[in-house]
Amino acid sequence: MATIKDVAKLAGVSIATVSNVLNGGRYVSPELRSAVLQAVRTLGYVPNGVAQSLRSRKTQTLGLIVPDITNPFFSGLVQALEGSARDRGYQMLLCNSEENAELEFDLALALASRQVDGLIVIPTQDSPEYLRKLKADGLPVVLLDRIGGEDDLDRVGVDNFQAARVGTEFLIRQGHRKILLLVSTLELSNIRDRAEGYRQALAAAGIPYDPELVIECGKDASSLEAVLEAIQQQQPTAIFASTNRLSLLAIQAIRRLKLKFPEEISLLGFDDFEWSTLLEPYLTAVVQPIEALGFQACQILLERLKGDTSPPRRVLLPCDLAVRQSVQRR
Amino acid sequence: MATIKDVAKLAGVSIATVSNVLNGGRYVSPELRSAVLQAVRTLGYVPNGVAQSLRSRKTQTLGLIVPDITNPFFSGLVQALEGSARDRGYQMLLCNSEENAELEFDLALALASRQVDGLIVIPTQDSPEYLRKLKADGLPVVLLDRIGGEDDLDRVGVDNFQAARVGTEFLIRQGHRKILLLVSTLELSNIRDRAEGYRQALAAAGIPYDPELVIECGKDASSLEAVLEAIQQQQPTAIFASTNRLSLLAIQAIRRLKLKFPEEISLLGFDDFEWSTLLEPYLTAVVQPIEALGFQACQILLERLKGDTSPPRRVLLPCDLAVRQSVQRR
DNA sequence: CTGCCTTATAAAAACGTTTAACTGCCATCC
DNA sequence: GGATGGCAGTTAAACGTTTTTATAAGGCAG
C-alpha cells in the first residue's frame, strides 16, 4: 500500500504539501497541486484511516451493541442506525451481546479501547453502571430502546406505557374484558412500563386487575406450557403479546388449543414486521417507529460528539396502532 | 484517557518497560513489574487500540458487507459471523449495501482505507471486479452466499443447484407436475443455479420445461400481479418460492385468489426462519446451514490472515429439506 | 585491575498522518 | 535601500504504541 511519503517522493514535494492538497489545508500552487494529484492517481493512494485516527483522535466509528441481531426489531434498528451513521460519515462496529450482561460489558470495553467515537447500546439490563463510567471517561453513550433508569445518560426509546395503554384500550373498546398479557420479563423497565400501561387501561375502564392474567414468559420452552395453562384456566377473549417473539408464542398456544382465531380469541401484538404477513388473519399490533428511533439515537450521539454538553436527554417517541384483523369485536 | 506514558511516569519506569510488562515481551524484575501493574490499575489504563493498530499494521477488525440486514437469512449470517469473529478476537465493521452495487463499492473502499484485516462480502452482483483488485492489493476477501464467477476468490455458499433440485424432486414425488418457480432475479448466479436445479429435476422426471412457469419477481410491487396472473393462467398445483421473501409473495397471491392452501396449491420455500411458524400450515422449505456458512467464511478468512496462500477455495455446503405441511400430496 | 559478556532498563525509531513552526523569497513601504 | 510582511513551501513534532538499539552496571575471567 502506498503511503503519503511515496506520493510526496513521486510528486517531488514534501508530505505536508500532499496533505494540504488532499485536505485543502493551505494554498498550493496549481503546478504542485496537479503533480500531487497525478502521483496520487498513479499510485492509487488512499490515506491510512488508522493513522488519521491516531493523529486526529477521531475514528469516525460508532460502537453498537445489540442483544440479538436476529430479532427483526433490532435488525431494523441496526439498519436505521447504520444508514444514519453512514450518511454522516461514520461506520458501525457491531456487537451482539446475546442478552448477556457480562458479554455486553466486555464488548463495551473492547469498543472503547478501539477508540470508537461514541457508543449506542441496547442494554440487556436497565441502565448498567459501567456505561456511566465510560461516559464519565469521556465516551459519549446513548441508550436505545431499553431506557429504564435515571436521567444520567441520553436515552431514546418509545413511550411504552402509553403504547401499551393505547393497545389495551383498543382491546377494551372491542369488548374484551379478560385480556391475557404476555411479557418477556419484568426485569426490564420498558416491559414493566408496558405492563403498567395495560394495568392502567384496565383500571380506567373499571376492569379489576388480575395478576393471574399476566404471564412472564422468560426464554425457556416451558413458557408455552404456562401460556396454554393460563388460556385454559382463565379463558381470556384476547391476548396482548407485548413483544414480537411473544406473538409467536401466542399463536402457537392458540393453535395447540385449536381455538378459532380470531373468533374465539383475539391477538394484539407488539412490533410490526414484514413476516407477520404470514399470519392470517393479519396481526393487529402496536408498532414502534423503528426508523425514527435509530435516527434519533444517531442524531443525539453525533451532537454529543460535536460537543453538546447539555443535560442528558430522554427522547420518548410515540407508537402507532396498526389495526388489522387479528382482533375481533366481542 | 491515560496513556502508556502516564503509566510509565507514575511507576517511575520507561514506557518500554510498561509495554514489556503488559505484553510479556522481555524479562522485567518483579519490583518494577508490580509497580507497573499498580500504576496501570490506579490509572485504569487501557491500551489505545488505534495506536496498536498503526504500529502492528493489524486492526483485528473484519469488514462485512451485507445487502440487507433486515432479511433474516442475512441477519442470521451476520450473527454467525460476528460470533465466530469475536471468538477469535476480531470485531466486525458492518455495512449495509442495500442491494446497491455502487454503494457496495464505496463501502468496500471505505473499509479498506480503515485498514480492516479482511473483508467478507455478500455481493449484490456476481463476482465484482473491484474485489479482485482489493485482493491483489493484499486485502483478503471472502465471498459469501452469492458465489457465482470464476475461482479467483474464496467463496463460501450453498449448493444451490442441488438444493433446488432436491426440493423440486420432492414436489414431483408428491405428485406435482405443474410447478410455478418464483425467482427474485436471474442476474444472480445462485438464483440461476436454483432455476437450473428446478429444470433438471423436471427433466429427470420427464416433465417438459415450461418457461411460462418461471417468474422473475424483481423488487417492484408489480411482481404480485405477475404471480397472480401466472397462477390463474397456468393453474399450477405447487409453487416453489426460491427465496424467503418470495414465500411471502406466494402466500399473498394464494390468499388473494382465495385458493385453499395447501389443498389446492402447495408451497415450497427456500430458507427457514423463526417467523415462518406464523404460517399455517407450517412451511416446508429448503434450509441453508446458516451457522455453518458464517463459520466457514470466517474460518477461511482467518486462515488467509495467517498467511495461507493456497489457491482460492470454493466451499459448497449442502442444504436440508425441512418437510412440514405446506406441501400436499397430489 | 582491566576488559568483556550478560542483563535489566532506558532511549529512540517507526507505523502514517496532520499541523504548527520555520525558512527563504519576493514585493512593499517609509 | 533596508526593515517588514505576506507567501509557498518544507521541516519537524505529535498522536500512542511496539520493538530495536543503546546504555549502564555488575560479574567474571585473565
A273 reaches B (C-beta below 8 A) = yes
CB contact under 8 A, A95 and B92: yes
Confidence of residue B1 (pLDDT cuts 50, 70, 90): confident
Comparing CB atoms, the residue among B49, B115, B137 nearest residue A113 is B49
Question: Would you call B220 exposed, middle or buried from its count of C-beta atoms within 10 A (0-12, 13-18, 19+)?
Answer: exposed
Comparing CB atoms, the residue among B50, B110, B255 nearest residue A54 is B50
- Cα–Cα distance, B121 to B108 (Å, whole number): 9
Mutation target to probe the B interface, by most B beta carbons within 10 A, among A69, A105, A326 is A69
A152, A176 Cβ separation under 8 angstroms: no
Categorise residue A220: left if φ over 0, alpha if ψ from -120 to 50, beta otherwise. Answer: beta
* Dihedral angle over CA of A36, A40, A41, A44, nearest 10: 170
* pLDDT, position A88: 96
Smallest Cα distance from B266 to chain A, Å: 15
B8-59 pLDDT per residue, tens: 999 999 999 999 999 987 888 888 899 999 999 999 999 999 999 999 999 9
Output the DSSP codes for B210-245: -GGGEEE--SSTHHHHHHHHHHHHH--SEEEESSHH
CB contact under 8 A, B78 and A72: no
Nearest CA among A24, A21, A23, A25 for reference residue A13: A21
B-chain residue closest to A139, CA distance: B1
Nearest CA among A91, A98, A85, A137 for reference residue A116: A91
Smallest Cα distance from A70 to chain B, Å: 5
Output the DSSP codes for B53-106: HHHHT---EEEEEES-TTSHHHHHHHHHHHHHHHHTT-EEEEEE-TT-HHHHHH
A111 reaches B (C-beta below 8 A) = yes
Confidence of residue B150 (pLDDT cuts 50, 70, 90): confident
Least confident of A219-223, B160-164, B292-296: A219-223
CB contact under 8 A, A78 and B61: no
- What is the arithmetic mean of pLDDT over A105-129? 96
CB contact under 8 A, A92 and B91: no
Q: CA at B57, C1' at C15: how many angstroms apart?
A: 7
Confidence of residue A150 (pLDDT cuts 50, 70, 90): confident
Counting Cα atoms < 13 Å in the Cβ hemisphere of A212 gives 11
Q: Residue A181 has what DSSP assignment?
A: E
Q: CA at A28, C1' at D10: how many angstroms apart?
A: 13
B178-213 pLDDT per residue, tens: 999 999 999 999 999 999 999 999 999 999 999 999
A7-34 pLDDT per residue, tens: 999 999 999 999 999 998 789 999 999 9
Least confident of A33-42, A220-229, B81-90: A220-229
A177-187 pLDDT per residue, tens: 999 999 999 99
Q: Where are the alpha helices (DSSP H) in A44-87?
A: 49-56, 72-87
- Which residues from chain B sit within 8 angstroms of residue A50, using beta carbons? 50, 53-54, 59, 114-115
Nucleotide nearest to A54 (CA to C1'): D15
B241, B247 Cβ separation under 8 angstroms: yes
CB contact under 8 A, A275 and B275: yes
Comparing CB atoms, the residue among A48, A247, A280 nearest residue B115 is A48
* pLDDT, position A209: 97
pTM: 0.95
CB contact under 8 A, A53 and B50: yes
- Cα–Cα distance, B153 to B164 (Å, whole number): 24
A49-61 pLDDT per residue, tens: 999 999 999 999 9
Three-class DSSP category at B298: helix
B69-118 pLDDT per residue, tens: 999 999 999 999 999 999 999 999 999 999 999 999 999 999 999 999 99
